Amino acid sequence: MNVMYKSTRGQAEAVPASQAILKGLAEDGGLYVPERIPALEVTPGQLKGMSYQETAYEVMRLFLTDFTEEELKGCISRAYDEKFDTREIVPLKEADGAWYLELFHGATIAFKDMALSILPHLLTTSAKKNNVKNEIVILTATSGDTGKAALAGFADVPGTRIIVFYPKDGVSPIQEKQMVTQKGKNTYVAGIRGNFDDAQSGVKKMFGDKALAEELDRAGFQFSSANSINIGRLVPQVVYYVYAFARLYEKGVLKDGEAMNVVVPTGNFGNILAAYYAKQMGVPIGKLICASNDNKVLYDFFQTGEYNRNRPFILTSSPSMDILVSSNLERLIYKIAGEDAEADRKMMQALASDGRYEITEEMRARLADFAGGYASEEEVAEEIRSLYEKTGYVLDTHTAVASCVYRKYRREQEDGRVTVIASTASPYKFTRSVMKAIDEKYDGMPDFDLVDELSRISGTPVPRAIEEIRTAPVLHDAVVEKDGMKEFVKKVLAAPGSDV
Ligand SMILES: *Cc1c(COP(=O)(O)O)cnc(C)c1O
């Protein structure tokens, strides 16, 4: 059956998947949502024997209904290949009773690779299907991981350019090094003097700028988004929850009819929303546990029904979760408002003007699938240290937030269900914080010495992504003010094919 995509704000027409992927954001400023969530058409028994790629096809074909089998299979096989360092693509590791779903075996060792290795192919396929002649310009704001994963995904993909903005002082040294060393004639990177929310709102403003769009069109360009609001990122993320379930069912960890809980370290709410979609497709998932760091806007939201971004922005050791406005939450808000676009619009307007909104009691009642938790910086460090000491398994800081929230949830709720924890980054990506958590003595050691030390104490090889940047030259050194982003974009596009 055909699935169309409509806007959460209700003032843009419904479009097929390929157009929703091309547009990113709907014209009325809303997010595209599928008109209905399709049900899985394979049984748990059938899922058991399937590879990651086969599972991906079974899930994605139900959402991207205007893609042909050949197109979709082509996208999947080009995305999930040797760029991943394991044939399983997303291994599931047990440690101290929980199942860690390692989503970090792709090109940039963070979970963003799961979606961003396929998005460029979905996008160029969509462009072809819709006779788009313009060159596609990917504009992205990143809190660290999206940027590099998008750069890696789009580098030298014909018919595309990619421009990435990141908060100059808000990403880890390794994250920054990964971005500024990116190769590819069509890649551009700029640090901004501001935080992630500044970068994100600057990008959103450019997407909404009609005059800029016309100027671009005349020059043969059009914007598209690689941010997690694009359904071309959301849909591929549903896949690994289905896959995780299949592996646990195959192992006999989950019996017939038994559900698993899922804990997701959350920032922009994309990853956990994908788990929610998986549940609606029929995957047996119990609670969706949303884990926050000290920027616990979402935790407070689940506690009180009020979303309030008016609070200090805290820089933590889990920078990819340092977010006060979780864009993808709008899709959930729309859903629990009974798909009432006007109600959604009012709340999003209130968020834009007052920085807060409140949901109704009726809406709160529809949040029963979710639980919220958070972990402080001390708790995160303690979680890394104690799990390492107990099992030898080393978590990154983001996964440690989720792992800590999982433990708290279990203590408080007496819910003993099998639990999958989304492991969103390799510890090698946040080596400094991770090693310091394990032992204070590592404080002050140079970055790459820490990498070697982590390899030694964990008995795991240094990932290729880290080896590569040890000696790579810096190719991007632009830094712009937060109101200078548009200027930078114009400069990039005025200099076709050359470096800025
Ligand atoms: C992006 C990211 C997150 C947050 O994911 P969302 O989908 O934005 O909620 C968590 N951990 C890491 C390592 C990330 O890169």
- Provide mean pLDDT across the span 492-499: 68
Pocket perturbation via mutation, ligand 1, pick of 104, 142, 271, 397 by most ligand atoms within 8 A of CB: 271
Neighbours of 265 (CB within 10 A): 31
397 lines ligand 1 (CB under 6 A): no
Pocket perturbation via mutation, ligand 1, pick of 171, 262, 266 by most ligand atoms within 8 A of CB: 266
Give Cβ neighbours of residue 496 (< 8 Å, ≥ 6 apart).
none
Beta bridge partners of 240: none
Atom in ligand 1 nearest the alpha carbon of residue 145: 15
Q: Distance between CA 148 and CA 137 in Å, rounded? A: 16
CATH of domain 92-108+232-460: 3.40.50.1100
Pocket perturbation via mutation, ligand 1, pick of 140, 264, 273, 321 by most ligand atoms within 8 A of CB: 321
8 lines ligand 1 (CB under 6 A): no
| Angle value at C-alpha 252, between 250 and 253, nearest 5 degrees | 110
398 lines ligand 1 (CB under 6 A): yes
Pocket perturbation via mutation, ligand 1, pick of 103, 380, 398, 405 by most ligand atoms within 8 A of CB: 398
Amino acid at 46: Q
- Provide mean pLDDT across the span 89-106: 98
Please give the distance, rounded to the nearest whole angstrom, from the Cα atom of residue 111 to the centre of ligand 1. 7
427 lines ligand 1 (CB under 6 A): no
- What would the pLDDT profile of 126-145 be if each residue is shown by its tens digit? 999 999 999 999 999 987 77
Please give the distance, rounded to the nearest whole angstrom, from the Cα atom of residue 487 to the centre of ligand 1. 29
**Residue 496 has what pLDDT?**
60
Report residue 208's pLDDT band, with 50, 70 and 90 as the boundaries.
confident
255 by Cβ neighbours in 10 Å (0-12 / 13-18 / 19+) ranks as exposed
Report residue 52's pLDDT band, with 50, 70 and 90 as the boundaries.
very high
Contact 401, 373 (CB under 8 A): no
Please give the distance, rounded to the nearest whole angstrom, from the Cα atom of residue 240 to the centre of ligand 1. 15
**Residue 497 has what pLDDT?**
55
Q: Distance between CA 429 and CA 397 in Å, rounded? A: 9
**Residue 499 has what pLDDT?**
43
Atom in ligand 1 nearest the alpha carbon of residue 396: 13
112 lines ligand 1 (CB under 6 A): yes
436 lines ligand 1 (CB under 6 A): no
Q: Which residue has the tokens 């460029």?
A: 120
375 lines ligand 1 (CB under 6 A): no
Please give the distance, rounded to the nearest whole angstrom, from the Cα atom of residue 110 to the centre of ligand 1. 8
Atom in ligand 1 nearest the alpha carbon of residue 143: 1
Q: Distance between CA 389 and CA 392 in Å, rounded? A: 6
Q: Return the percentage of the chain with pLDDT > 90, whole number.
A: 87
Angle of helix 329-336 relative to helix 341-354, nearest 10 degrees? Answer: 140
Task: Indicate the range of 14-23, 241-250, 381-390, 489-498 predicted with least confidence.
Answer: 489-498
- What would the pLDDT profile of 312-369 be if each residue is shown by its tens digit? 999 999 988 999 999 999 999 999 999 999 999 999 999 999 999 999 999 999 999 9
- What would the pLDDT profile of 265-313 be if each residue is shown by its tens digit? 999 999 999 999 999 999 999 999 999 999 999 999 999 999 999 999 9
148 lines ligand 1 (CB under 6 A): no
**Residue 146 has what pLDDT?**
82
Nearest CA to 204 among 485, 10, 479? 485
Contact 158, 242 (CB under 8 A): no
Question: What is the residue extent of each domain of the chain?
Answer: 92-108+232-460
- What would the pLDDT profile of 465-476 be if each residue is shown by its tens digit? 899 888 899 999
Report residue 498's pLDDT band, with 50, 70 and 90 as the boundaries.
very low
322 lines ligand 1 (CB under 6 A): no
288 lines ligand 1 (CB under 6 A): no
Mark whether 112 is an active-site residue: yes
**Residue 224 has what pLDDT?**
85
Kindly name the residue from 6, 112, 279, 287 that is annotated as catalytic: 112
How does the average pLDDT of the chain come out, rounded?
A: 94
380 lines ligand 1 (CB under 6 A): no
Q: Return the percentage of the chain with pLDDT > 70, whole number.
A: 99
Please give the distance, rounded to the nearest whole angstrom, from the Cα atom of residue 275 to the centre of ligand 1. 13
Q: Distance between CA 217 and CA 92 in Å, rounded? A: 45
pLDDT over 50 at 500, yes or no: no
181 lines ligand 1 (CB under 6 A): no
Q: Distance between CA 108 and CA 84 in Å, rounded? A: 9
- What would the pLDDT profile of 223-254 be if each residue is shown by its tens digit? 887 877 899 999 999 999 999 999 999 999 99
- Residue closest via CA to ligand 1's atom 1 equals 320
